Structure 1
Amino acid sequence: MRSKSFFIQEIQACLQLAIPLAAAQLSEAVINFVDTIMMGQLGPKVLAGGALGAVTFTTFLIVSTGMLSAVGAVAAIAFGSGNFPKLRLINAQGFWLTLLLSFPFMLLIWHFTLILRQFGQSEDHLPLTQAYLQSIVWGLPAALGFITLRNMTSALNRPRLVMIIMVAGILLNVVGNYVLMFGKWGFPALGIAGIGWASTFAFWVKFLLLGIGIFYDPHLKPYHLFARCYSIHLRVLGELLRIGTPSALLFLVEASLFTVITYLMGIWGTVSLAAHQIALQTAATTFMIPLGIAHATTMRVGQNLGRCDLKGVKRSGLVGILLSSGFMSLMAVILWIFPEFIVNLYLDIRQSENIAVLSLSKNLLKVAAIFQIFDGIQAVANGALRGIKDTKIPLIIGIMCYWLVGFSSGYFLAQRLGLQAIGLWLGCVLGLMTAAVVLTWRFFHQVSHLSGQSCEPILRDLS
């Protein structure tokens, strides 16, 4: 009975963190969702060109998110152990890490169409892709700064501020898209570049608002998170790099899988690329909820580890996985039953030029319905592993599952059996299913191993 009470308390604690974080993640996905819809208003060609730009920028953002996830994981452990002076050091080094990531990534994004050309992408798409990338790139430092602050506030159990700002960001981005894309209120009509500039503006506004909110929040003020933000503390920065680098590489391994798949779609033509973008954007939108649960699970696992409550660590991971799998199963039913309705959100399916995209999109969405269940489980299992600072072995697992299992089987189905887009997506299902099983096993195995020893050595570097 007491165990059941603890389990219910953990569900409540996880949801208190997960709901605001998931809402924040969902609002971010809604912005990308709206961007994709507005690209579609300019036609399949613009949607295809925008897809290349969006997946490229998102890949860099995801890799950075993986690196900066160390900020939340380490801060959660420090918070759980009562080591409050460490928090401001973690926050300061998080900002230095943001700068270290921003400048080289901005340079790569600015010139990335040169790389896309080497991948055989159509010259019809590349000018549109370049216009998008060279406008949104200026928002990258603010986007990464926002992620750092979001991780800190989540580790301190204050995610609602993030949610409010993110939801407000949706309206800001939609209005910005409308004004800059179509040239309203005296602004020039910038087309797809206007979507990039609107995102850049929204990134900076959200970052500044969150910084101001943290500074004046009465619950966060006692931690003095912005004290000595200019100072470099090599030991803490090294800790973030040690934990964050495998996570960033793992995020890269998964994100690059979908990036390469998107580039292959571009080689197969506009229909494949546009249909893939519709299915991928839809799956990415629903994935934001498990991603929020994964962030919450990292924090809950880390806080319990900081308190040396190893039963709580195990319980936090289990609750997160169950919540994520339940939600994604519900979303799978919706994608399976209503694919045509979903496609109609992106394109006017009554137009003859969109019939081929509609047909392929419906099939891809049915595959995505299965794929996202396993994607949700593996994301939360990874989040739980980050909470116990286990990031190196999950990186190896990710490489094996996503590429050796997922991409290899998908490429075989696409090329050898002639299934093309559907074959690649089926390969992703197999890769993510394998990752979900192995990573979940890894978490519970590691917690069982920790239960047989003192957790003090894990906390020693945070003292």
Structure 2
Amino acid sequence: MNKYFKEFRYNFNLALPVIAGMVGHTLVSVVDNIFVGQLGSAELAAVSLGNSFVFIGMSIGIGFSTAITPIVAEFDSQKNIEKGRSAFQNGLALCTILGFALFFLLVAAKPLLRFMNQPEDVVKLAIPFLDIVGFSLVPLVVFQAYKQFADGMSETKYSMFATIIGNVINIVINVLLVFGLLGFPKLGIVGSAIGTLVARVFMVLYMHYILAKKEKFKPYFTRFGWQSFEKRMAKKIIALGIPSSMQMFFEVALFTGAIWLSGMIGTTSQAANQIALSLASITFMFAIGLSVAAMVRVANQKGLQDYKKLHTVAHSIFLMAIILELIFALLFMIGHDFFPKLFVNLETQASINDTAEVIGIASKLIFVAAFFQLFDGMQVVVLGALRGMQDVKIPTVITFIAYWIIGFPVSIYLGKYTNLGAVGVWIGLLAGLGAASILLYIRFRHLLKNKL
């Protein structure tokens, strides 16, 4: 075990800024939920419904952008600046195109909101929120291109700074526009959406400014623009990016399906689902940070063709993930009754029954989430290692089987056809994540065995 423990410090230093940035990134949505939750359960359910569409687009965009990291990391280990520059600039161009495409697809999909058996008042509130947050996908995906490039260069702190400042901007705008303070108009959930959009635009501007002026990155910004488009590199990014985006899409779509199923059960179940999902998303970002560390370090060792070191590095990160997720599982079990109270207004007498029901359901969901922390963390960290090895096709098939052949049918049956309700939906999530973590690790072991 000592050889794994020796890697912990380097892993931690690489992953910590990513974790901080990703937690901050998730806090944009959590902050929105906390502020909107003070308005009522219908408003919170509307944000949940609107974000369920946005999260699908976000998963495709973020998943696609992850193709940039292992390519850049491999060329960085080989000191090949020209190839690294091509990977960055072509990745940025492709992400920009994808961001606009996702926004237009989201606009085209809006009519589906009225055909999903969701409460009518929730749908009416969700539509204007969706318009604004949907457009924020454009700067979000562009930001991801800059972030994945910096991550591939083992410089993970810049995206962290961008996200932290973006969060401050989002909180200030939420305070002013959700409740109409200091003379600003009271816009409710639309004000929350505006905060998200402004924060994400700032994050793009910050990343371009800070990277372009740093000496280490200046060679990568030469001949910067569309004229740098290179067909061969673009094909390589697409070949890795599309399966990676599908992997993330399958998982996010599973959780989106859970949102829709909860909405069919009732508004309080949907609001409770959003509370539990917000909390689980925060802890998941820690696993994402370790996943990025796995992707970068595995890609570095792949570039050097040192597969013994790759084995040690990867398993040291897997071990870190297990330890971390066990801590979170314990935290969720201890605080499952307390955490939901942070998301609702306990002083509103008019909706006191709904609020009590939301808290009760959310408490049970958080307890279930405690158990799938371990599997959720492991599957994303192993996926990071597989992406570092540029193995994406078979893992895409594995994630589809785990989430949609195993997980979602369990969610449907237990959620709709038993008395478990929303709790049954989350047991299905647990089943899907468990299957994914086991099958992906088997795939990683098989690949590594052939290299050693």
Give TM-score scaled by structure 1 length.
0.93
How far 1:7 sits from its partner (Å)? 3.4
Structure 1 pair 294/226, CA: closer, same or farther in 2 (3 Å)? farther
Cα distance between partner residues in 1 of 2:394 and 2:136: 33
Please say if residues 57 and 137 of structure 2, whose CA atoms lie closer than 8 Å, have aligned partners that are also in contact: no
| 1:421 partner letter | A
Q: 2:280 corresponds to which residue?
A: 283
Cα deviation, 1:207-248, whole Å, max 9, x if unaligned, reads 101110001123323x33353331211100100000111111
Instruction: Pick from 53, 58, 62 the counterpart of residue 59 of structure 2.
Output: 62
Pair 1:95-2:96 in alignment: no
Please say if residues 268 and 354 of structure 2, whose CA atoms lie closer than 8 Å, have aligned partners that are also in contact: no
Q: 1:416 corresponds to which residue?
A: 417
Cα deviation, 1:316-369, whole Å, max 9, x if unaligned, reads 221221111211111111111111210111013464431111111111110010
Q: 1:252 corresponds to which residue?
A: 249
| 1:86 partner letter | K
Greater Cα shift, 175-184 or 395-404: 175-184
Cα distance between partner residues in 1 of 2:414 and 2:37: 29
Alignment of 1:130-209 (within 5 A): 130-209=127-206
Cα distance between partner residues in 2 of 1:410 and 1:266: 13
How far 1:185 sits from its partner (Å)? 4.0
Pair 1:393-2:389 in alignment: no
Greater Cα shift, 40-49 or 165-174: 165-174
How far 1:36 sits from its partner (Å)? 0.6
Pair 1:376-2:372 in alignment: no
| 1:267 partner letter | M
Where 1:412 maps in the other structure, the secondary structure is helix
Cα distance between partner residues in 2 of 1:49 and 1:111: 19
**4+ long deviations beyond 4 Å:** none
| 2:376 partner letter | D
How far 1:313 sits from its partner (Å)? 1.5
How far 1:268 sits from its partner (Å)? 1.4
Please say if residues 87 and 225 of structure 1, whose CA atoms lie closer than 8 Å, have aligned partners that are also in contact: no
Instruction: Pick from 32, 36, 39 the counterpart of residue 29 of structure 2.
Output: 32
| 2:437 partner letter | A
Alignment of 1:4-403 (within 5 A): 4=2, 7-221=4-218, 223-225=219-221, 227-230=223-226, 231-349=228-346, 351-403=352-404
Where 1:82 maps in the other structure, the secondary structure is coil
Cα distance between partner residues in 1 of 2:384 and 2:420: 33
Please say if residues 37 and 346 of structure 1, whose CA atoms lie closer than 8 Å, have aligned partners that are also in contact: yes
Cα distance between partner residues in 1 of 2:289 and 2:324: 12
How far 1:126 sits from its partner (Å)? 1.1
How far 1:136 sits from its partner (Å)? 1.7
Please say if residues 40 and 345 of structure 2, whose CA atoms lie closer than 8 Å, have aligned partners that are also in contact: no
How far 1:188 sits from its partner (Å)? 2.1
Cα distance between partner residues in 1 of 2:197 and 2:416: 38
Please say if residues 113 and 126 of structure 1, whose CA atoms lie closer than 8 Å, have aligned partners that are also in contact: no
Where 1:340 maps in the other structure, the secondary structure is coil
Cα deviation, 1:254-299, whole Å, max 9, x if unaligned, reads 1111111211111111111011111111101111100111011101
Cα distance between partner residues in 2 of 1:353 and 1:441: 45
| 1:360 partner letter | I
Cα distance between partner residues in 2 of 1:241 and 1:358: 44
Please say if residues 91 and 229 of structure 1, whose CA atoms lie closer than 8 Å, have aligned partners that are also in contact: no
Q: 1:432 corresponds to which residue?
A: 433
Please say if residues 88 and 145 of structure 2, whose CA atoms lie closer than 8 Å, have aligned partners that are also in contact: yes
How far 1:204 sits from its partner (Å)? 0.7
How far 1:417 sits from its partner (Å)? 2.8
How many residue pairs match? The answer is: 447
Where 1:348 maps in the other structure, the secondary structure is coil
Give TM-score scaled by structure 2 length.
0.96
| 2:333 partner letter | W
Where 1:158 maps in the other structure, the secondary structure is coil
Q: 2:407 corresponds to which residue?
A: 406
Greater Cα shift, 366-375 or 413-422: 413-422
Cα distance between partner residues in 2 of 1:226 and 1:189: 46
Where 1:390 maps in the other structure, the secondary structure is coil
| 1:397 partner letter | I
Please say if residues 120 and 267 of structure 1, whose CA atoms lie closer than 8 Å, have aligned partners that are also in contact: yes
Where 2:193 maps in the other structure, the secondary structure is helix
Structure 1 pair 24/226, CA: closer, same or farther in 2 (3 Å)? farther
5+ residue gaps in structure 1?
452-463
